[in-house]
Amino acid sequence: MSAARNRSKADQDPSTWLPSFAGYRCQYVTDWVADKTRYQLAVDPSEEAALSETLSRCPNESITATLAR
């Protein structure tokens, strides 16, 4: 990923930014949920809606998260 492209997503969550390549979106949101779970981070309502909508299109994806110590 180029530096400019990486900056374009900056501090955005999945409600405002998802990978342009649709084939990677499921992996991206499952990783996002795993990281949020691991570090016990809050999820705001718009973020939750975007995650739920995207994950509804990913029936075969599993999410594995280990809590940080």
14-38: pLDDT as tens digits = 999 999 998 999 999 999 999 999 9
pLDDT reported for residue 15:
94
Q: Token pair 């996002």 is at which residue?
A: 32
Helical spans, DSSP H, in the chain: 3-9, 22-38, 45-55
**Residue 31: which residues within 8 A CB-CB, separation 6 or more?**
none
d(CA 67, CA 37): 7
d(CA 22, CA 20): 6
pLDDT reported for residue 11:
76
- The structure's pTM equals 0.81
